[in-house]
Amino acid sequence: MDDVRWFASNPYTELVVPALRRHGLTIATDGERPARVALAMSGLAAEQAWRFARRRGARLVVYLWDLPPVGTGGRRPDPVWWIGGAFLRLPRPWGGYRRRRGYYSRLRYVATRADGVWGASALTCETVAERFGVRAERVPYCYDSDRFVPAPREHYGDGPATLLTVSRLRPHKNQAAVIEAAARLGDAVRVRLIGRGDERGSLEALAGRLGVRCSIETDADDATVTRAYREAAVAVCPSRFEGFGLTPVEAVASAVPVVASDIPPHREFVGAAARLVALDDVAGLAAAIESALDSAPADPALVAGLTIPAAAERFLAALDPFLG
């Protein structure tokens, strides 16, 4: 029997597995072998882990990154039942979750019946308690500390300094604020956005209207992203909402000056390493970027608690009560 059957929604959520194995845990990332614990490393993996736990008699732990306010705020889940090995949901005619309604309703059902729920940040734990009525234990994850390390700075061609934002192109990521701030700084800067999403067209149109030099890359691979941090003058992270907030952590680890929105996860994880700016304060954002252009980056040691080995230690301690 394995100690843990690990359910990952992407390679990133498996980063700590090798380190945990070095600590002596037996962890399977696929297959049907029995395990003491089924660990769902995101809401996307929760239903699969639930089914495994039911089949194999394993204890179930669900790791949650966030509960977006647009999807779950001020609304109620649909009633859900587990009958005959399948979920049955009765959609609410009104007042239900506005996005991915079946997904969040089933996720709440699983979380309320799991043996443990972990949250990526203090904010996530608060929202899980508020919206799902479940106590979540704060177990911060990590960045890829093997990839993002201090390195000699490079230059993205000649000319203006590069303002880098790495994130999905979605409204709540607020990349428009970077473009608007860059417009105030004029020809001294250019904007480089890396990510996929349906906001590309509107962001390109905004940059065109404001006369901002802006490139948007939707197919960047890992090597390109790693190099992009080294080529950036400042990493700008203006999100309106995050459950963890990975981009500013990667930037600090890469020894790049960081300007970020003043939201709870940014305060929690990079508050001592980044310049934090209030939401919707474009003038303040431009001033912080201008200041960062002339300043040294923060010490990467400020995010040492978010490395892979540090996260593995947290997961080891959090798993211990479930493995006894």
In a domain, 298, yes or no: yes
Instruction: Specify whether 234 is located in the same domain as 313.
Output: no
8 A C-beta contact, residue 120 and residue 311: no
Residues 275 and 316 placed together within one structural domain of the fold: no
Q: Which of 25, 121, 7 is nearest to 67 (CA)?
A: 121
pLDDT at 142: 98
Over range 151-155, report the average pLDDT: 71
H/E/C letters for each residue in 41-82?
A: CCHHHHHHHHHHHHHHCCEEEEEECCCCHHHHCCCECCCEEE
pLDDT tens per residue across span 252-300: 999 999 999 999 999 999 999 999 999 999 999 999 999 999 999 999 9
**Residue 106 domain-assigned (yes or no):** yes
pLDDT at residue 157 in the model: 52
Residue pair 112/82 in contact (Cβ under 8 Å)? The answer is no
Domain-embedded: residue 114: yes
**Is 91 part of any domain?**
yes
Q: Are 276 and 314 in the same domain?
A: no
pLDDT tens digits for range 274-286: 999 999 999 999 9
Do 293 and 319 reside in the same domain of the chain?
no
Burial classification of residue 317, based on how many CB atoms lie within 10 Å of its CB (0-12 exposed, 13-18 middle, 19 or more buried): exposed
Residue 318 in domain: yes
Q: What pLDDT is attached to residue 100? A: 84
Distance CA 17, CA 26 (A): 10
Same domain, 138 and 169: no
Least confident stretch, 21-30, 34-43, 115-124, 149-158: 149-158
Mean pLDDT in the chain? 95
Question: At 101, which CATH number?
Answer: 3.40.50
pLDDT at 154: 67
Q: What secondary structure does DSSP assign to 161-175, as a single string?
A: EEEEEES---GGG-H
Closest CA to 298 of 252, 237, 251, 247: 252
Q: Do 170 and 296 belong together in one domain?
A: yes
Q: Which pLDDT does position 98 carry in this prediction?
A: 82
C-alpha triplet 244, 29, 319: angle, nearest 5°: 60
Based on the fold, state whether residues 67 and 200 are members of the same structural domain: no
Same domain, 296 and 319: no
What mean pLDDT comes out for the span 295-312? 96
What is the pTM for the complete model shown? 0.94
Q: Quick check: is 287 in a domain?
A: yes
Cα first-last separation, the chain: 14
Residue 83 backbone zone (phi > 0: left; psi -120 to 50: alpha; other: beta): beta
Residue 226 and residue 279 share a domain: yes
- One domain, residues 107 and 213: no
Residue 237 has a pLDDT of: 98
In one-letter notation, the amino acid at residue 255 is A
Q: Are 188 and 161 in contact (CB under 8 A)?
A: yes
Where would I find the beta strands (DSSP E) of 132-204?
Answer: 137-138, 161-166, 189-194
Residue 208 belongs to a domain with what CATH number?
3.40.50.2000
**Mean pLDDT value across residues 155-182:** 91
Residue 41 has pLDDT above 80, yes or no: yes
Total number of domains in the chain: 2
> Which two structure tokens, joined as six digits, stand for 23?
């600590």
Within this chain, do residues 105 and 195 fall inside the same structural domain, yes or no? no
Tens-digit pLDDT profile for residues 182-222: 999 999 999 999 999 999 999 999 999 999 999 999 999 99
| 168 and 90 inside one domain | no
147 occurs within a structural domain: no
The answer on pLDDT for 156 being more than 60 is no
- pLDDT reading at 108 higher than 70: yes
Q: What is the pLDDT of residue 160?
A: 94
**Could you list the residue range(s) of the whole structural domain that residue 201 is in?**
161-303
Q: Is the pLDDT of residue 158 over 80?
A: no
In this model, does residue 71 exceed pLDDT 90? no
Confidence of residue 70 (pLDDT cuts 50, 70, 90): confident
pLDDT tens digit sequence for 218-249: 999 999 999 999 999 999 999 999 999 999 99
pLDDT value at position 155?
60
- CA-based torsion, 44, 309, 23, 121: positive or negative: negative
Region of 59 (left: φ > 0; alpha: ψ -120 to 50; beta: rest) is beta
